[in-house]
Amino acid sequence: MQLNFPSCFEAATRARTEPFLIFEQGDFLAAEDFKSLDQSFPELDGLSSTGLRKGGKAYLDTNSSEFHVFLDRTPAWAQFYETVRSSETLDRLSRSLAPHLTHRSGGERLPWLLNDSVPHRPTRLIRKINKLRRNLSRLVTQRTKVRVHLEFSVLGNGTSIPPHTDAPRKLLSLMLYFPDPGWPEDARGGTEFYAGKPGVETERGWETSTKTAPLDRRFFERHETIHTLPFVGNTLYGFVKTGLSWHGVPTFDIPDGMTRRSLNININLDD
């Protein structure tokens, strides 16, 4: 399965670099490959490990055993999963993203090395020890260990994702949309990005996730939408995490029986 990543993000179908990198790359997959993924997108109803996040988003991610059971049963998605985590993919992405990581320490701009071990929640002491190990590993290998996290996301009518900037460990967010047939053009559905209104400084939120997102009303008194992604299939959308990378999905109105389906691919620093 061939993934059509741009040679550099500036060469993508569309890209902007202010106030942070946002890009889109059309024809990301061969038409037949995208169709195969679309037709086998998982049904999240009834899965015991399906989560529900603030705003009403249902999801199934790589931290779940049922995610890997699904891959075992779905060859197309298993192939996609292995391709997106391959050393070739990580090398290309790390080279393309390095110029846009000037807000990070130099280590994050090194080539990426996949950590494929089972993730866990370390204690504060273990986290400090792991940080020392990562720094030593960078010196020896001249690479930065990352984890590739995939999440199937489904939003129903009247749901939303509140404004947030993502967790500090995240380096890059990638999104692939799977619109239902007949998706209304006026329903929006694409991710929105926000910045301070004219004369208002954008709030900095380095450690803001959806669990700690500010109340929408207070946030939108000072911020406005600066960019909205089209909700189009077979187009890769992405952006870099910064303290200003505010984004979310507003409440939308779609016909009964429709859902907003997406695959979220996150490149995270190894904990």
Q: What residue spans define the domains of the chain? A: 9-269
pLDDT for res 237: 97
Whether 82 shows a pLDDT value over 70: the answer reads yes
pLDDT, mean of residues 215-221:
82
Q: What is the mean pLDDT of the chain?
A: 85
DSSP string for the chain: ------SSGGGSSEEE-SSS-EEEESS-S-HHHHHHHHHTPPP-TT-TT-EEETTTEEEEETTSHHHHHHHHH-HHHHHHHHHHTSHHHHHHHHHHHGGG-TTS-GGGGSPEEE--SPP----HHHHHHHHHHHHHHHHHHS-EEEEEEEEEEEE-TT--EEEE---TTEEEEEEEEEPPTT--GGG--SPEEEEEPTTSPPPP-TT--TTSPPPHHHHHHHEEEEEE----BT-EEEEE--TT--EEE------TT--EEEEEEEEEE--
Question: Model-level pTM?
Answer: 0.86
13-62 pLDDT tens trace: 999 999 999 999 999 999 999 999 999 999 877 554 455 555 567 889 99
Length of the chain: 271
Q: Which CATH class is domain 9-269?
A: mainly beta
- Residue % of the chain over a pLDDT of 70: 83
Residue 160's pLDDT band (cuts 50, 70, 90): confident
Distance CA 192, CA 161 (A): 10
